[in-house]
Amino acid sequence: MSDYKNLDNYIWLDRNIDKRASDYFAILLAASKNNVWEFSGRSSIYVRGSKKTQRRKKAELRKTAQNTQSITAYLAPASMYSQNFNIVLASTFACKLLTELYESTEVESEKVELTEVESTELQITEVEPIVVDTSIELDVDKKAKLWQAIEDLDGSLKKDNNNINKGTRVRLQASLQYLRLRNMGQNKINASTTIASLLGWRDYKARCIHAWAQNWLKRRKFPKDNCNKFTKVSSLLDDERILMKVCIFYSNFI
């Protein structure tokens, strides 16, 4: 009998729930109209790179960068550039003097007779030709072109600063610092890797810096930023191989 009593209790509970079902539904309907349920934009789990983490890291970077030099001031003191330019001008002037002196002298040796005193013997003096290394001229020419490219790039950045987007401006600044390091005498690999490491980039970006600088040296063109400019990929259903498989799949059911 006890089992039946318990069963009766459950039956009465079910009947009470059925009677109040309309009340429950009315409460749910009113809550949905009043937008009682508001979903929080904050994730229930930790997601790396959240907005709060980004703000905190940016604040830390600004705090650490307050008493530091800018990258342009660190890599390119103005006195060093003027000194290098004066060295280039002096070397070009010396090279011109050497070429003029070389053209004025005779390549073949000369014989000079000294007959001022009878007792003196005949002396033969040979005038050795002055050999000018053509690689010096080429080196000076390269430095002059490099300096001109630095001046043009710096002028373009100052002139079109507002018209250049952020990505292109970063590329041009990296190319400018690379050319300045090359003008100081560093080789290509060390100059590109130095700039890339200071900007937090890897070896691939170091090669890109070299390519951007060479493009400016030869063509005086900005590196293009193709972000969000790629052609849209067509649907996979337009592919012939996928269409063939779809046709074979549906042909099995016919």
pLDDT recorded at residue 74:
66
pLDDT recorded at residue 134:
45
pLDDT > 70? residue 235: no
pLDDT digits (tens, 9 = 90+) for 174-214: 899 999 999 888 888 999 999 888 888 888 888 889 989 98
**Which of the pair, 223 or 104, is modelled with greater confidence?**
223
Which residue has 């067509």 as its token pair? 234
As a whole number, the mean pLDDT across the chain is: 68
pLDDT digits (tens, 9 = 90+) for 24-35: 777 777 766 765
Would you say the pTM of this structure is higher than 0.85? no
pLDDT recorded at residue 178:
92
Residues in the chain: 254
Percentage, residues of the chain above pLDDT 90: 1
pLDDT recorded at residue 142:
82
175 three-class SS: helix
pLDDT > 80? residue 239: no
- How far apart CA 27 and CA 21 sit, in angstroms, is 10
pLDDT digits (tens, 9 = 90+) for 123-164: 333 434 434 344 444 477 788 888 888 888 888 888 876 677
pLDDT recorded at residue 127:
36
- How far apart CA 88 and CA 140 sit, in angstroms, is 7
Read off φ and ψ for residue 37, nearest 5 degrees: -80, 110
pLDDT digits (tens, 9 = 90+) for 4-63: 455 555 555 666 666 677 777 777 777 667 654 555 566 566 666 778 888 888 888 888
The C-alpha angle 240, 245, 246, rounded to 5 degrees, equals 95
Domain boundaries, the chain: 72-117+126-219
pLDDT digits (tens, 9 = 90+) for 73-98: 666 554 444 555 555 455 455 445 44
- How far apart CA 178 and CA 174 sit, in angstroms, is 6
Q: DSSP character for 237?
A: G
